[in-house]
Amino acid sequence: MWNSVICILDAPNNRKMLIKPLADVHTYLKNVSENTDPDFLTLIYSALFQCITEQRDWKLGEKITEEAFMYIPQTHQKVLWEAKMNFLSKLGKNVLSAIANMKESNATLMAKVWVRLARSSNNMLE
């Protein structure tokens, strides 16, 4: 499945059309709590978040990240944390409380999340 998605991700029109099918894959994975291949999940969510970000559907992105946290192993949640901070920032929500709730004690991950947040912020003073 992933090999077919890679070929489609190169065009903006394709990424727009992939949101619904990838969101459906997320729903199916969530319903069965499938996490036996966390590397595959990381790839799927990276592609989905890229599509969502391009379409600026911040609410959908926030919803999907919250649901994905429930079953993706903590070792593979980096993509979720980065996306969640981006979506919360774009929605104008308080990201500081979400960062405080990060269960990862990995300083490198925290630094990457802060850098990503700084680059995506709408407000330069933030």
Per-residue pLDDT in tens (0 to 9) along the chain, 126 residues: 656 666 677 788 888 888 999 999 999 999 998 889 999 899 999 999 999 999 999 999 999 999 998 899 888 888 888 888 888 888 888 777 666 666 555 666 667 666 766 766 666 665
For residues 99 and 126, the answer to whether their CB atoms sit within 8 Å is: no
pTM of the model: 0.76
Residue with tokens 């600026």: 56
Distance CA 36, CA 50 (A): 23
For residues 69 and 77, the answer to whether their CB atoms sit within 8 Å is: yes
